Amino acid sequence: MSIAANPQLKSAEEVKSERIYAQWGLTDQEFKIIENEMGRLPNYTETGLFSAMWSEHASYKKSKPILKTFWSKNERVLQGPGEGAGILDIGDGQAVVFKAESHNHPSQVEPYQGAATGVGGILRDIFSMGAQPIAVLDSLRFSEIKNEQTKSLIDGVIDGIAGYGNAIGIPTVGGDVAFDDAYEGNLLCNVMSIGLLDHQDTIKVGQAHGKDNSVIYVGAKTGRDGINGATFASTEFSSQEESQRSAVQVGDPFMEKLVMDATIKAVREMPEAVIAIQDMGAAGILSSSSEMGEKGGSGIWLDLDKVPVREKGMIPYELMLSESQERMLLVVAQGREKGVIDLYRDAGLDAVVIGKVTDDSRYRLSFQGETVADLDIKLLTKAPSYKLPSKLPVHIKKASQQQYQPKISNPLQIIMQILSQPTISSKKFFYRHFDSMVRTDTVVKPGGDAAVIRIRGTKKALSLTTDVNGRYVYLDPYRGGQMAIAEAARNVVSTGALPIGITDCLNFGNPDNQEVYYELEQSVAGINNFAKQLNTPVVSGNVSLYNETDNRAIYPTPMIGMVGLIRDNRKITTINFKKNGDLIYLIGSTGNDFNGSEIQKLQTGKISGKLFDFDADAELNNQKLILTAIEAGLLKSAHDLSEGGLIVALLESAFETSFAFDANLKLDDAQLFAETNGRFIVTVEPEKEPVFEKMAGDQAELIGRVTDRNHFQIKTDQSSFSIDKEEATKTWKNSIANLME
Amino acid sequence: MFLAKIYVTYKPSILDPQGEVIKSALHRLDYTDVNSVMQGKYFEIKLEAKDQRTAAKEIEEFSDELLINVNMETFTYKLSEISSVEE
Amino acid sequence: MKAAVLDFPGSNCDFDMYYALIDFGIDAKIIDARQSNLDDYDAIFLPGGFSYGDYLRAGAIARFAPAMEAVKKAADQGRFVVGICNGFQILTEAGLLPGALRMNAKAGFICDQVLLNVENDNSLFTKNLYRQQLLLPIAHAGGNYYADQETLTKLHANRQIIFTYQDNPNGSIDDIAGIVNEKGNVFGVMPHPERAVDPLLGNIDGRPFFESILQTSGVLN
C-alpha cells in the first residue's frame, strides 16, 4: 500500500525524528505502540488523527477505568453511556434523552463563544439521537466576584448561553451557580440538555452499518476553527500562554436551528433511510466518522475533496480536525441519499455524500486523488487506557476530626450576611437573560428546587436539576459524591418527581497528580453507591480533566444532572408558601454539621476539617416520605435544605410570596445554618395535620406557621428575634447585581 | 469592480445601548477620558457596475432598502475601484 | 375562523402560537413563509423568535420573504394581522406598523413577566379584556419601541397605542408595548399572550386577547 507523502508536509521519518507527535500530545510510548501496531511509521496526517483520537478529551484514556465502574443499567435504560446521549423509558412508548457536557476551557478563554458553542454542542448530541430537545440547564462555577476580569467572564458566559439558547428556541430552565476562588482561572461551564422521543422505535444511535451505505455531511462549512480543540482541552492552562486562543470556535444558532429541525424531520419521515447520526463535536469529522464506523463494526472511506469548505487550501489534517460548529454526519442507506439530501437542501443546508461505509474495518481517507491515511479503525479509536496511581490527599489526612462550631452572637446579622453571599442569594440577575418559557411547556421556571417541563398531550412532566457542592467533595470525595446525587434527588423529589436517572460532568484537575486521581476515583465510587440505592442509573456523561492554572486545581466538581418523572402534572409542587395559617414541618433531624458549610466559609474565610456524616438511610426515607405525601395530596409546598441550612430554606420559601412565617425551633442558633443532608421543609393545611403526622411519624417536626405579616419571627433554644421581610428580600435579591455593577 | 465600505450607525438622536455599556466598561478599565462610544455595523461589499456613479446609486438604494432601518439608522460609505476579485 | 402562523427560517414561537390558537378552537396551520398565497386565511400570525438569525436587524430580512406580500394584501383587505415579539419587529420593518424596535435600553435579553396597562380596550384585539391591567411574559433583546414625535402624536390621537408597560423594561418611548395600524386590523406587541393561556403554566392573562379576536370575528358572542 502506497501512502501519499504530502510533499509540503513533514515526512513520516521527520514526524518521528523531530517528535512532531509530542507537540500534538502523544507520548513516546504511545507513538511506539502506533508504529508497532501499524508495522510502519504513521505519516503526518495519520499522526494527527491519532493525536486527536488518543487525547484524553476524545478517548478518556485516563478516566476510562473509572468510568467503566458506573452503574448504568436498570429496567428503564434504553441507551447507556457511549452514545451521543443516554435514554430512559418514561412509558407510553416515550423516552427521555439527556446528557451533560463541559465547555470549561473554551469558556475561560472566550466566554461568550465558549458558552454558546457549549449549548450548541450538547443540543446536537440530543437531536443526533432523533430526539427533540426540550430544555437546557447550566451548571456554572466562577471565582468570587471581586474584580473586573471575573465580572466580564461571568457576563460573557451568561450572554453566550442566552445568545445561543434563546435564538435556537430551546428554553434554559435551570441549573446552578456557585462562586469560590478555587475556580479562579478555571471557571466551569457545564451544560445539560434534555430531549423527548415520542416513539422509542425511532431512536438513532451513532453506529455505521451496511457496506456501501453513504456517509453524508450536513450543515455548516468547514473552516480552520478549533483545530486541536480536543488536545487543547486535555492540557493544563498556563496563565502566560495567550496563544491558546486560536482554539476558539464561533457558534451560529440560526444555522443550528435549521440543522436541528431538518434532522428531526429526516428521522421522523425517513427512519429506514437514516441509519446513523452523529454530531461533529471534538475532533470533528474524524471522531464522528471513526467512532460510528468502529461502533458499527465497519470501516469508513472518506473523500476529503467532497467536504464543503469555507477556507481555501486546507490540508487533510485540518479538514479532519476542524471543530467548525453546526455540522452533523449521517449514514444513509444506499439508494436513499437523494431524499435525505433534498430534505436538507430544502432547509437551505449543505448536504453532501463524502464517503462510504466499508466492511474491512479500515479507516481510509482520499485527498486530491491519493490515499492520505489508511488505518485499522479499532487502533485509531481505542486509545490505550491507563489506570493511574492514586493517593489520599494530604489535606484530608491532616484534617481536623472536629466539626467547626460557628460563633453566633447576633443571629440576625449573620443571616443577613449569609443572604448576601452570591452562592446563596437570588440568581435572577443571571437567569432573567435566559428564555425559560419558549415552547410553552415550562411549569416550574428557574428559581425553584428543580425545573419542571410538562409533556404535552400527556399528564406526565419531567423534573430537571443540576447539583454538586465542590466544597464537600474536596473535604471527602466519596461522601461528597454521595451528597451531590442526594441533593439532586432532593431537588427533584421536592417537585413531586421520582428520580429516574442521571448524567454527569466530572470536572477535576490533572489526573497525573495522584491526589486528583484519588478524588476522581472516590467521588465516582460515592456517586455510584448512592445512584444504586436511589435506582438512578448513570446513562451519559463527560469528563473534563486538567482544570488547573499554574498547578492549582479546582475543587473536585462531579456535577450531577438528574431527571425525575412526574406521573400526574396536577401533583407538581413548588417551594413557595401558599396560604396564611398553613403548618410548617421540618423533615429530617439536624446535627452540628458545619465543615464545608457556607457559614464556615463566611466566618473563617475557608473550608476545612473532616466532612460531616451522610446518613443514606435517613436521606432515602425522607425523600420517600415527601413523594408519598405529595402523591396523597398532603403538601402545599416542599423545599429541600442545602447550602446555608434551615434558615435559608425557610426564607426562600417566603421571598417570592406575599407571606412570612413564625418558627419555633428546638435548635441552637448555630444549627440554623447547619448543612445536615436529607432534610426538607414542607407546608400542610391545618385540616390535614392528623393525616400528615400519622404518615410522617418522627420524621417530621412541626416548627411553625405561615403568616401574612411583614416580618419573620424566629425562636430558638437560645434566642428570639424577628427579620424585616422587605430588608431581607432586598438583600437576597440585589446581592449579585450589586457585586456585578 | 468596486469596493464599498459602508458604515451604519444609529441616528444621533437615538440611544445606543451597546455603546453605553461599552463606554461604562471602558470607564471601569480606567479609560475615564472616553466621552462617548457609538457601536455600529460595517459592511464590505464588492460589486460590478459600469461606473462609479452607477455603483454609488445602487449602494445608496440597497442601503436604504435593507442595510439600515430608515426610522433609526443612517449610513456613510466609501467607494473605490478595485482591479479584480482576490478571494 | 382560519388562521395562518407564519414560519420564517429561525422562528421559534410558531408552535407556541399554533397550540394557543388550537386551544381556542381556531383552525390554525403553520405556513412556510416561502408561500406567497394566504388568501384562505382570516387571520395571519407572525410569531416570535429570531427570523434569519436576526443577524442584520431583527425582522429586517424576514420582511422580504414571499409571504410578506400576502401579509400586505391581507392587511389592506382588513383581515387580522398579528405580530408577536419578532413578528412585531417584522411588521415595523415591513412598514405595516409605524416606528421601529431598537435594542433594549439596558442591553441584553430579558425574560420575565410584566404588567401591561390596557390603553385602548375598544380595539379589535382588546374588546374582551374587561380589565385595566394584564400580566404577560416578555422575552426579547430588541423591544425598545421608537417613533418620531409626529408619529407618536398620531398614535395617541388615533388611539393606536393598545398596551403600555407599567414598569418599562426596555426603554420604549412612552412605555409603548403594543400598537395597531391606523385601520386597526394590524397589531404588533412585544409581550407574548400565547405564552399565557394554559392554567398549568400559571398564567392565563393571555386568554382574553384570543377571546377578543374570536369575538370580533363573530365566532364568539
Sorted by where each begins, the domain ranges of chain B are 2-81
Helices then strands, each counted (H, E), chain A: 26, 28
pLDDT of residue A560: 98
CA A653 to chain CA centroid, nearest Å? 27
User: How many residues are present in chain A?
Assistant: 741
Q: For C4-39, how does the pLDDT look when each residue is reduced to its tens digit (9 = 90+)?
A: 999 999 999 999 999 999 999 999 999 999 999 999
> Coil, strand, or helix at residue A425?
coil
Handedness of CA A472, A475, A479, A485 (dihedral sign): positive
Which of the residues A145, A147, A148 would you substitute to probe the B interface, choosing the one with the greatest number of B C-beta atoms within 10 Å?
A: A148
* Mean pLDDT for chain C overall: 95
Rg (CA), chain A: 26
Contact C173, C190 (CB under 8 A): no
Q: How many domains does chain C have?
A: 1
Three-state SS string over A644-708 comes to: CHHHHHHHHHHHCCCCEEEEECCCCCHHHHCCCCCCEEEEECHHHHHHHHHHHHHHEEEEEEEEC
Asked whether the beta carbons of residue A456 and residue C111 sit closer than 8 angstroms, the reply is no
Helices then strands, each counted (H, E), chain B: 2, 3
Task: Decide which of 3.40.190.10, 3.30.230.30, 1.20.140.10, 3.30.1280.10 is the CATH code for B2-81.
Answer: 3.30.1280.10
- Find residue A724's DSSP bridge partners: A711
> Which H helix or E strand runs over A213?
none
Domain that holds residue C172: 2-216
pTM of the predicted structure, to 2 decimals: 0.94
Contact A171, A445 (CB under 8 A): no
Which of the residues A196, A438, A443 would you substitute to probe the C interface, choosing the one with the greatest number of C C-beta atoms within 10 Å?
A: A438
Comparing CB atoms, the residue among B14, B20, B67 nearest residue C102 is: B14
Residue A702 exposed, middle or buried by CB count within 10 Å (0-12, 13-18, 19+): middle
Touching subunits of B (3+ CB pairs, under 8 Å) are A, C
pLDDT of residue C55: 87
Position C116 in a domain: yes
User: What are the distances in angstroms from CA C121 to CA A138, C80, C113, C178, C182?
Assistant: 42, 17, 21, 12, 16
Comparing CB atoms, the residue among B10, B20, B71 nearest residue C99 is: B71
A92: cell is: 407510553
pLDDT of residue C63: 93
pLDDT of residue A234: 56
User: How many residues are present in chain B?
Assistant: 87
- Report the percent of chain C where pLDDT is more than 90: 91
- Please name the amino acid found at residue B76: T
The verdict on whether C192 is a catalytic residue reads yes
Q: How far is A618 from chain B (nearest CA, A)?
A: 50
Exactly one of C140, C156, C192, C211 is catalytic; name it.
C192
DSSP for A327-391, please give it. Answer: EEEEEE-TT-HHHHHHHHHHTT--EEEEEEEESS-EEEEEETTEEEEEEEHHHHH----------
Asked whether the beta carbons of residue B17 and residue C60 sit closer than 8 angstroms, the reply is no
pLDDT of residue B87: 45
User: What are the distances in angstroms from CA A280 to CA A217, A284, A324, A561?
Assistant: 10, 4, 8, 23
Contact A624, A652 (CB under 8 A): no
d(CA A579, CA C163): 32
In b/e form, how buried is each residue of C76-112, taking b as 16+ CB within 10 angstroms?
eeebbbbbbbbbbbbbbbbebbbbbbbbbbebbbbbe
The verdict on whether A209 is a catalytic residue reads no
Examine the predicted complex and report whether its ipTM is higher than 0.90: yes
Q: What is the chain C residue with the closest CA to B10?
A: C102
Q: How far is C221 from chain B (nearest CA, A)?
A: 40
pLDDT of residue A199: 82
Asked whether the beta carbons of residue B29 and residue A152 sit closer than 8 angstroms, the reply is no
- Report the percent of chain C where pLDDT is more than 70: 99
Exactly one of C69, C156, C194, C211 is catalytic; name it.
C194
Position C221 in a domain: no
Centre a 10 Å sphere on the Cβ of residue A698 and count the other Cβ atoms it contains: 7
Pairs from A649-653 (Cβ < 8 Å, separation ≥ 24): A649/A681, A650/A584, A650/A681, A650/A712, A651/A415, A651/A419, A651/A712, A651/A723, A651/A728, A651/A732, A652/A575, A652/A732, A653/A575, A653/A576, A653/A577, A653/A681, A653/A683
Q: What is the chain A residue with the closest CA to B86?
A: A312
pLDDT of residue A247: 55
Asked whether the beta carbons of residue B66 and residue C104 sit closer than 8 angstroms, the reply is no
pLDDT of residue C219: 65
pLDDT of residue A223: 87
pLDDT of residue A205: 83
Domains and CATH numbers, chain A: 573-741 (3.90.650.10)
What residues of B are in contact with residue A312 (Cβ under 8 Å)? Answer: 87
What residues of B are in contact with residue C96 (Cβ under 8 Å)? Answer: none
Asked whether the beta carbons of residue B28 and residue A312 sit closer than 8 angstroms, the reply is no
Angle at A449 (CA atoms; ends A448, A454), nearest 5 degrees:
75
pLDDT of residue A305: 96
Q: Which band of pLDDT confidence, cut at 50, 70 and 90, is reported for residue B33?
A: very high
> Coil, strand, or helix at residue A623?
helix
pLDDT of residue A245: 39
Exactly one of A103, A199, A395, A711 is catalytic; name it.
A103
Q: Please compute, for residue A220, the number of CA atoms within 13 A of its CA located in the half-sphere on the CB side.
A: 26
Comparing CB atoms, the residue among B17, B41, B69 nearest residue C105 is: B17
Q: For B65-86, how does the pLDDT look when each residue is reduced to its tens digit (9 = 90+)?
A: 999 988 889 999 999 999 865 5
Contact A348, C8 (CB under 8 A): no
Interface A–C counts its CB contacts (< 8 A) at 81
Contact A331, A215 (CB under 8 A): yes
Q: How far is B57 from chain A (nearest CA, A)?
A: 31
Residue C143 above 70 pLDDT? yes
What residues of C are in contact with residue A442 (Cβ under 8 Å)? Answer: 201
A508: cell is: 477535576
Q: Return the CATH number at C82.
A: 3.40.50.880
Asked whether the beta carbons of residue A148 and residue B87 sit closer than 8 angstroms, the reply is no
pLDDT of residue A436: 98
What residues of B are in contact with residue C169 (Cβ under 8 Å)? Answer: none
Residues of chain A scoring pLDDT < 50: 1-2, 4-7, 239-246
The verdict on whether C69 is a catalytic residue reads no
Asked whether the beta carbons of residue C192 and residue A437 sit closer than 8 angstroms, the reply is yes
Asked whether the beta carbons of residue C19 and residue A456 sit closer than 8 angstroms, the reply is yes
Asked whether the beta carbons of residue B69 and residue C93 sit closer than 8 angstroms, the reply is yes
In b/e form, how buried is each residue of B58-74, taking b as 16+ CB within 10 angstroms?
bbeeebeeebbbebbbb
Q: How far is A144 from chain B (nearest CA, A)?
A: 18
What residues of A are in contact with residue C141 (Cβ under 8 Å)? Answer: 166
pLDDT of residue A236: 60
What residues of A are in contact with residue C20 (Cβ under 8 Å)? Answer: 440
User: What are the distances in angstroms from CA A247 to CA A190, A331, C27?
Assistant: 18, 28, 50
Interface B–C counts its CB contacts (< 8 A) at 38
Angle at A373 (CA atoms; ends A371, A379), nearest 5 degrees:
145
d(CA A52, CA B22): 39
Which of the residues C18, C32, C109 would you substitute to probe the A interface, choosing the one with the greatest number of A C-beta atoms within 10 Å?
A: C109
Q: How far is A102 from chain B (nearest CA, A)?
A: 29
Residue C64 above 50 pLDDT? yes
